[in-house]
Amino acid sequence: MLRSASRNGHCRRPNYALALARRLWQNVQKMKKVLTAMGSLAVATYTLCANGGAWQTGVPGTGSASASNKDRHTDVTIENETLKIDLYPEYAAVEVHYRMRNTGAKVQQDFFFPVERWGKNPDADTDAKAADVGHYRMTIDGREVGWTNILGPKEESSETTSGEIWEQNVSTSESWKKSVIPLERNQTREVTIRYTAKYAEQSESVSDDEHVSDAAFAYSLSPAATWKGPIGKGKIEINILHPEPEDVSIEAPKERFRKISDTRYEWEFENLEPTPADDIRIIAHSKYDSYPTGYSEEDLQRHASYVIRNDQYFLDHTDYDATASSTLSAQGKRNYDVVNIKADSQRELQTPWCEGVEGDGVGESITLDGQGRWHRRKHHARC
């Protein structure tokens, strides 16, 4: 999709577009109230049915490993912890490194890494797929070790979905990826965990209108309180690797992170006894509302919609021509043509664009040429 944007009144398009978007938004709010009571609404020659639903995607939260999923004693302490969180457009890539020392007798130390999962939402059109982290790997002194999934109890969320129509608590359940760390008396071992996690989002829809919540990433430091004593030293680094760093906010903890640049934040600490007040919550993308521009054949072919986010509005559409500097050759039924960036939902097989030169593709590019009433401007993106 290609977006035209306006912010704080400094329009990149004429003001009539903003007025139209606002008028559409006001009309939709009125429509939603009627839809709630009646189930459908006739406007001109169209009937908008109140087909709607709510669903969840991504992983609600992950966190520091704990010594147990129950209240048990351990003589193992964390001397040093470094955590790096890289925020990509659709997911976070996490790497956490522990230096752990056994202050007691020889032990086979349990190691529990927590992952929250969505429960069933009564308002969902279909059952949500079980959320989990991706590419989970754990190494001890550089050597990869295995793990098993341990399921925990289901809990009702204390928060409700944020839309106007649905006010439904969404349940989550906690699970753990369990490993075992062999430790001799006074032995120190280096433990590293790497994984990816899709941002947690909640979406709601009425007919073709959609409300999407903040896309959030959560990481809890508090489970580390189960180890012996405080965390000796620690450093947490957040890197923003998607093209809208201004849309990212660190919601919690407040006033701990130091801004290094527009795309990097750091927090260093010593002798931290972590509590829930230290748990991290990051908004990677802020919430938005999306409404179709119309229902004419021309509108439907363009797959166009108005997107309203905070003090910005966008026109989301596919009314452009795309050309690429190179393209990877087709492989069987899979093709990698540049037109794939439009993500046509009618296609049987969804594949991306892929450059076709040898090497890592640095320097390859896509040029977008806006068409029709939406654009008369070229956009150029280089790898």
- pLDDT at residue 9 in the model: 33
Amino acid (1-letter code) at residue 298: E
The values of phi and psi at residue 115, to 5°, are -140, 125
The SS3 of residue 341 is helix
Maximum Cα interatomic distance, the chain, rounded to a whole number of Å: 79
Cβ-defined contacts of 301-305 (< 8 Å, 24+) = 302/372, 302/374, 303/1, 303/342, 303/344, 304/374
Answer whether 176's CB lies under 8 Å from 69's CB: yes
Answer whether 28's CB lies under 8 Å from 305's CB: no
Compute mean pLDDT per 10 residues along the chain, 383 residues long, and list them: 41 37 42 34 29 70 83 89 96 97 96 81 53 90 94 56 44 83 97 95 82 92 94 98 94 95 97 96 93 81 82 80 90 87 74 87 85 48 52
- pLDDT at residue 294 in the model: 85
Cα 137 to Cα 143: distance, rounded to the nearest angstrom: 10
- Sorted by sequence, the CB contacts under 8 Å of residue 355 that are 6+ apart come out as 324, 325, 326, 327, 328, 361, 364, 383
The SS3 of residue 252 is strand
Strand 258-261 relative to strand 288-292, pairing = unpaired
Cα 21 to Cα 317: distance, rounded to the nearest angstrom: 14
Q: Can the peptide bond before residue 14 be classed as cis, meaning omega within 30 degrees of 0?
A: no
Amino acid (1-letter code) at residue 285: H
Domains recognised in the chain with CATH numbers:
1-50+289-317 (no CATH), 55-285 (2.60.40.3680), 319-383 (no CATH)
Cα 141 to Cα 191: distance, rounded to the nearest angstrom: 6
Cα 2 to Cα 24: distance, rounded to the nearest angstrom: 20
pTM for the whole structure = 0.74
- pLDDT at residue 192 in the model: 97
Cα 11 to Cα 34: distance, rounded to the nearest angstrom: 33
- pLDDT at residue 129 in the model: 52
Question: How far are the Cα atoms of 117, 119, 158, 174 from residue 154, in angstroms, in the given order?
Answer: 9, 8, 13, 7
